[in-house]
Structure 1
Amino acid sequence: MIFPQNAFRVYLATEPVDFRKGMDGLAAHVMNSLERDPFSGEVFIFRSKRADRLKMIVWDGTGLVLIHKRIEGRGFVWPSVRHGVVQVSSTQFEALFEGLDWRRIATARQHRPVAI
């Protein structure tokens, strides 16, 4: 989709934000409320109150990128509302972005082979 597989850490902000905020307002929210660095290259995803829109910001090394998506129908699936962020895998992010229930996708665990 947008990002190479496993190249970015992706965080969902669990509380709805004011969707009048642009990239600078969302970056300030990341610093002040989420206590993370918006210029770290991590992806931060925010939801609207109705959960039918999302905004993402990411620092790509040259500038701050803002992506805004509105989904038609039932809306995006979000974690329960609480203060903070939830880290998701790139596969879970892809499902969320497509409007699927990302919670049903298990994160792959790396198993090392065992010599017998």
Structure 2
Amino acid sequence: MIGPTGAVRVMVATKPVDFRKGAEGLAALVRETIHCDPFDSGIYVFRARRADRIKLVFWDGAGVRLFAKRLEDGEFRWPKIEDGVMRLSAAQFSVLLEGLDWRRVHCAKEAPAPALPG
């Protein structure tokens, strides 16, 4: 799977949700709990009570997509369960989807563009 670029906005709901919800139900949660528009360019990540399950909802320009993944061995690394939302970088998001510890990925510091000589 080719992961998202650095320009994508990834928002993670830290509180577990009812995993019986489909794309429409999760899109409604994006509006209600994350206070964002589910039809923008963001990827919204939700977790189940069991840490081995994850669902993503995002708008692809033609419709709302739902992506679900369950790890057969191990569990996703999650922040402390509390009401709230956190943002991940594209690199952290890619690592999270692989089931690895996204907290070990540090964002590169932005370097200023080099000035032209003269």
User: Normalization by structure 2: what TM-score?
Assistant: 0.90
Flag the 1:34–1:113 CA change in 2: closer, same or farther, 3 A. Answer: closer
Q: Offset of 1:85 from its aligned partner?
A: 1.1
The percent identity for this pair of structures is: 49
Aligned residue runs from structure 1 range 19-38, under 5 A = 19-38=19-38
Q: What's the Cα RMSD here?
A: 1.5
Contact 2:53 2:70 in 1 (8 A): yes
User: Normalization by structure 1: what TM-score?
Assistant: 0.92
- Equivalent pairs counted in the alignment come to 115
Instruction: Give, in whole Å, the separation in 1 of the partners of 2:75 and 2:93.
Output: 15
Residue-by-residue CA offset, 1:20-73 (whole Å, 9 max, x unaligned): 000000011110111111111100010010111100000011100000000022
Indicate yes or no: 2:92 matched with 1:92: yes
Question: Larger Rg: 1 or 2?
Answer: 2
Q: What runs of 5+ residues in structure 2 fail to find an aligned partner?
A: none
Instruction: Give, in whole Å, the separation in 1 of the partners of 2:30 and 2:41.
Output: 12
Q: What runs of 5+ residues in structure 1 fail to find an aligned partner?
A: none
Q: Which amino acid aligns with 1:92?
A: Q
